[in-house]
Structure formats: structure tokens, C-alpha cells
Structure 1
Amino acid sequence: MTKEFFDIFNAEMNHIGVEERKVVHQKGYWHKAFHCWLYQMENGMLYILFQKRQQDKDTHPNLLDITAAGHLTAGEHPEDGIREVEEELGIQVQLDEMESVGVIPASYVSDSLIDNEFCYTYFYHFKKPLETIIPDPVELAGIYRVPFHQLKSLFNGSINSINIFGYEYKNSKLVSLQTVVERKDFVPHPDNYYKVIFDELIKINKVLSS
């Protein structure tokens, strides 16, 4: 397996060197990531698209996560991360079509890693049908869309579950599914991260609804 190397930073985002991925997550060095959230507007309702992570992922298997995301390796710039959208979702996106919300610091700690990321975060208005997305079966188990108003209620605890629709690989074929999910079915990004995402989606919803 080819080793990955990341640029590493201190908490003030000053570059302090280059280190192997495994060491970065062992020691909790800050590093850069690319995040792209896809959304749709249909019949006046805003939907957010989530990928479902594969069951063999070393972190957060089978959970719903950012539509397309990945680490930036040493020497890469945020725009290089656009490859994640094509590789994971099979769609072409240009940088000038995306809406940047800047860099969100996010930390996640488990028994096996310390993940401190500077997340270069973007939104993309996906105007084609959901079924035109062909998720990479190596990386993704499927793709789902979630009504934003229900997602907010789920995350603030006012409801316990929601029904979502999407496509998932079954016996190597994509099949349409409706399923019920709870808060625990989503990757546990820190609260400050989700707050920025939700605040931005509220703005997007107001613009598209006006």
C-alpha cells in the first residue's frame, strides 16, 4: 500500500512540516481536508445529499456523511480536492460552480485516532436527478437525500427519527430504498462544524425560496 503524506500545521494554521497519514492521526497533527456538500431544491423543499460509508471503512462504517470529502495530501491546494466529487460520485464539478464557506476547524477523537482537520468546505447545487449520481462502490455504500427541515429537527432533538430516500448497492447493483434513520446514523462531526453547515444551508434555503 502506498503511504500518504500530509502537510501538518499547528492550531494557528502555521505549516510545521510533512508527516505520514498514520502518524498524523496518532499524534493529532492538524491537516487539511476538502469537503463538498451537494444540495437539491425540489417543489420548494431543500434536500441535502449524504453518502453512506462502506461497511469496511476503518472509521464510521455504514454511517451517513458529507456528500464528497477527502484529505489533501502534501503540496495540494483546496481546489485539488474537487477530484473527490468525481471519484466518489461520478460527476464533474468546476471550482467556479461551487460556493465556498471557508475553512472550518474540526476535531474528532476516538480510541484509535485523533483527527484534527482544517476543512475547506464547499456547497454545490446539484440540479440533476439523484439517480444520475453513480457512487464509487469501493468508497460508498450508497447515496441518500435528506429533507433539510427534518434534518434540523433530528439534530436539535425535537424528533427521534426521519424517513429518507436514496440508492444503495445490493449484490453489486444500485437499488432504490427508503429507510428510517436516527441521529446516531450520521458521522459525529463536532457541533461547531454542523452549526456552520446548517447556518449556511438556512441562507441557501432563503435565497432559493424567495
Structure 2
Amino acid sequence: MKEKEMLSIFNDQYERIGKADREDVHSKGYWHETFHCWVAFHDQGRDIVYFQLRSMDKGDFPGLLDITAAGHLLDHEAVSDGIREVYEELGLTLAFEDLHPLGALKEELIDGPLIDREWANVFLLKQHVPFEAFQLQEEEVAGIFAAGLDDVEKLIEGEKDSIPVDGFRIRKGKKEFISSKVALNAFVPHEASYMVQVIDRIRDRLRG
């Protein structure tokens, strides 16, 4: 029998109040810690951000575009331990010191029985990573796509109906490169307030 993942739980002031297993955390809506790593870079006057394409095997939001790499922090883990997610999901070997901290942000994402209340510890990898460098954990991640940061912001704010993305998806074990246009419903429905804060902080770091 698989051992349950235990997560620290918090109040809405980010004060630890105990621990619970992952299933209870998401069914009862406990605040918990996560690690979010966005990969982005500045090139020829444009800010570019990478999104992962969630595997169709995922229980939540399969086949949607999401944070470049993210995961839960277990009750015995420090925030710095979250760097493992970047290697596990994307195949990129990094040190925690390679990341730029963007702060701890609150986010609520409710979808049917899922009540996901996160204290997200958000970081930026300020680096142009060639698509060829990504080695994906296919059970979790089905592809990587890049989009203009300004385009993403305009999509979230309703100023655009769709935006261009470039990247690849894994088909039969190989990378299939794609250029396409996507609407807002192609993305995991993160709170707009979370996304706007993240975009502002990424932009500041890329141009700072």
C-alpha cells in the first residue's frame, strides 16, 4: 500500500497549524505549501515565459498549460527542497541558488470536489532554455510551450481572445514541434490575481 503524502497545513496568515494527508488537504480546503518555478527570459525586446503542458494522465486539469514546474512541499521539507520538481518534471539540473525568489503568494483554486488553497513559494529561473534541453517526465508533463509575457497578461485581462505559442509535445516518445494559437481555456484556471502578480514580478526581474 502506497504511503500517504503528509503536508503541513497553515492558516491564512501562513502560520503552521498541523499536518494532514494530501487527500484531506484538497477535500477539506486546508492551506498548504507549494513550490512554483517559472522559467522565463528576455530576448530582443520581448519577455518570454515557458508553460508546461500537463499530461492527459493527470487527475486535475489534464492537457492544460500550467506553471513551468510546480509541486507540493511535504511536511518534512524546506522550501529549498522544491527544486527537485524542476528536475523531476523538466529534466533540468539546477541549484536552488540559481533561482530568483518572487515571494509567497496565496492562491485558491476550486474545481468541483477539489479545494486547493496554496501558499505558493514562487521562484524564477531567468534563463533561455532550448527546447532540446527539456527531458520531460511524461507521466506528469506532455510538452513545453513558450509565450510572450505581455500576450499572457493581455489574455488574462481580456484584451486578447487568443495568443501565439511555440513549443513541443511528446508523441510516441519524440518531440513534435508546434506553433499554434491558444485561448484562455487552454490554461489551468489560476486566479487572475495570482497570475497578474507573477507576471509583474517576472517582468521586474527580467528587466532589473
Return the TM-score normalized by structure 2.
Answer: 0.95
Residue 130 (1) aligns with residue 144 (2)? no
Give 1:72's aligned residue.
Answer: 73
RMSD: 1.3
Partners in 2 of 1:153 and 1:116 — Cα distance? 25
Deviation (angstroms), 1:205: 4.3
- Structure 2 residue runs without a partner (length 5+): none
* Contact 2:168/2:177 (8 A) holds in 1: yes
Partners in 1 of 2:181 and 2:48 — Cα distance? 16
CA offsets 1:4-34 (integer angstroms, 9 cap, x no match) = 1101111122211111110111111111000
* Contact 2:52/2:143 (8 A) holds in 1: yes
Give 1:150's aligned residue.
Answer: 151
Partners in 1 of 2:149 and 2:43 — Cα distance? 12
Matches of residues 109-188 of structure 1 in structure 2 within 5 Å? 109-188=110-189
Runs of 4 or more, structure 1, over 6 Å off, are none
* Contact 2:156/2:192 (8 A) holds in 1: no
- Return 52-61 or 123-132, whichever deviates more: 123-132
Give 2:196's aligned residue.
Answer: 195
Partners in 2 of 1:58 and 1:125 — Cα distance? 30
Return the TM-score normalized by structure 1.
Answer: 0.94
CA offsets 1:26-73 (integer angstroms, 9 cap, x no match) = 111111000000002222321100000011211111110000000001
Give 1:63's aligned residue.
Answer: 64
- Structure 1 residue runs without a partner (length 5+): none
* Contact 1:131/1:167 (8 A) holds in 2: no
The alignment-based identity, stated in percent, is 34
